[in-house]
Structure 1
Amino acid sequence: MNLLTLILLTILQLNEDIPNEEVIEQISLLDLVLKGGYMIAPIVLLSLAATYIFIERLMTIRDAAKTPDNLLTDIKSKVLEGRINDAQALCIATSTPIARMLEKGLTRIGNPLQSIEASIENVGKIEVYKLEKNLSYLATISGAAPMIGFLGTVTGMIQAFMSIAQEEGAVSPKLLSSGIYEAMITTAAGLLVGILSYLAYNYLVTRVAKLIHSMEYTTINFLDLLQEPQSK
């Protein structure tokens, strides 16, 4: 009997020992997640929290960026005409971070320019804090989820080795499957949640940075506007 014949006979014998339904077993996504063990639960909770924070922050930043392009032009015309109250009403009606900063500056007209600038900057700091609210939690999730996944890997491998230690004879692969599933699934789930959270965090930070730049640019133009009547 040559080597090729021996290999073929071995394969045929293995196929006879393993039932067909076990070979072609189909596992749904839910079953796969459930096989991740109890460590998959905090990862799922973190993914839900990250999704909520991302959607809530995205809507907040989007609404904050809806400042009309002609807002500063309209305020300038009203200020030059002496209609300060109308300019303030326009800012209140717009109700965006930039509008609230300008409205604060309008209430300080008549004071020294340094005082007006300081009051606008104070309002700007509050608005920036509102825009960046909960972003730190998203950054924490991006780092915590992979670590929890790695912890699940360790606990899964411990479970697998404990199963090996409890067996006196040959170890069945099916006996080790639960520990291997937990180890691999929690790692993959943790990395997936961590990567998506990291990308979402950086996207939101970029949006906030652009909005802050627009706030600073508008503030400079507004301070220049206040000096125009004085130069005439």
Structure 2
Amino acid sequence: MIRTFILAVQTAPANNAGMNLWDMVVMGGWLMIPIFILSVIIIYIACERFWLIHKTGLTDVPFMEKIQETLKTGNTRAALEECEKEGSPLAHTIAKGIKISNEDPQEIRQAMEDTANYEVANLERGLPTLATCAGTAPMIGFLGTVVGMVQSFYDMSMAGNSIDIGLLSRGIYTAMITTVAGLIVGIIGQLAYNFLVARVDKIVFRMEHYSSELIEYLRPKK
């Protein structure tokens, strides 16, 4: 039986030299369907969040320069108009501070932090789902490994002494292909998640920095 198993593994690639990607997907079995669905979800969330987060940080520096120049003249209405025109998470946070500029600096800081937390939550929307998909895909792949090996041993037990190589290789293909597919999808998802989280953290740091600068500009000059 062991010799037959080794022979099946050695001869399968030769017999399927012309196998294309679609053939591999089909041989992976029905577990390739949820892995494919997870890959679509990962790609969609990663692309949509990347574009939004990337667009968010493009105009931060020019925007803050305009706000600072406007506040130097004491024209808070023009500053609020700039914030409304910008429409970014940073602009919403800065606008909150300007609207209550007559309050105590500590209250201004707290209000801006609350607004920033809300804006950051919007930026992070979808990232938990991305992390879940990235972690689930390899698990489904490993499930395919178990299912494939169970199928192989079942086929061997049913075949008795006349083990057919085709029956044996069916379970092996299911085991290997689902594992590879699950790992590929999981790796891509994890890399995308880590990258996007790092970008959000960078935006949070810049929002905190600019919020502190705004409070200094709003503080009454002695």
TM-score, normalized by length of structure 1?
Answer: 0.86
Unpaired runs of 5+ residues, structure 1, are 1-17
1:104 aligns with one of 91, 96, 113:
96
Q: Relative contact order (C-alpha < 8 Å, sep 6+): which is higher?
A: 2
4+ runs of 1 displaced by more than 3 Å? Answer: 22-25
Equivalent pair of 1:66/1:96 in contact (CA under 8 Å): no
Deviation readout 1:50-78 (Å, 9 max, x if unpaired): 00010011011012112242322322332
Counterpart position of 1:146? 138
- The corresponding residue for 2:194 is 202
Q: For residues 108-141 of structure 1, give each alpha carbon's deviation from its aligned partner in whole angstroms, at most 9, with x where no partner exists.
A: 1212212211111111000110111111111111
Give the structure-2-normalised TM-score.
0.90
In the alignment, the residues of structure 2 paired with residue 127 and residue 68 of structure 1 have an alpha-carbon distance, to the nearest angstrom, of: 15
2:111 and 2:16 mapped to 1: Cα distance?
70
What is the aligned partner in structure 2 of residue 226 from structure 1?
A: 218
What is the letter of the counterpart of residue 221 of structure 2? S
- Match in the other structure for 2:7: none
Query: Residue in 1 aligned with 2:157?
Result: 165
Structure 2: unaligned runs, 5 residues or longer: 1-10
Match of 1:92 among 78, 84, 88: 84
- Greater Rg, structure 1 or structure 2? 1
Who is 1:5 aligned against?
Answer: none
Report the equivalent of 1:71. Answer: 63
- Separation in 2, partners of 1:77, 1:169: 87
Whole-angstrom distance in 1 between the partners of 2:74 and 2:94: 16
SS of the counterpart of 1:231?
coil
Deviates more, 1:205-214 or 1:73-82: 73-82
> Which of 170, 180, 195 is matched with 1:188 structurally?
180
Correspondence for 1:4: none
Q: State the alpha-carbon separation in 2 of the partners of residues 61 and 24 from structure 1.
A: 45
Aligned-residue Cα RMSD (Å) equals: 1.6
Residues 60, 90 of structure 2: 8 Å contact kept: no
- Give the C-alpha shift of residue 25 in structure 1: 4.3
Partners of 2:46 and 2:149 in 1: CA distance: 34
Cα distance in 1, alignment partners of residues 210 and 218 from structure 2: 13
Aligned mates of 1:43, 1:154 — CA distance in 2:
16
1:130 corresponds to: 122
3-state DSSP of counterpart to 1:110 = coil
For 1:73 and 1:159, locate their aligned partners in 2 and report how far apart those are by CA, in whole Å.
66
Q: State the partner residue of 2:205.
A: 213
For the 8 Å contact 1:46–1:141, the answer to whether it is kept is yes
1:43 counterpart letter in structure 2: I
Identity over aligned pairs, percent: 38
Q: Give the Cα–Cα distance (whole angstroms) in 2 for the partners of residues 121 and 23 of structure 1.
A: 64
2:113 corresponding residue in structure 1: 121
Cα distance in 2, alignment partners of residues 69 and 29 from structure 1:
47
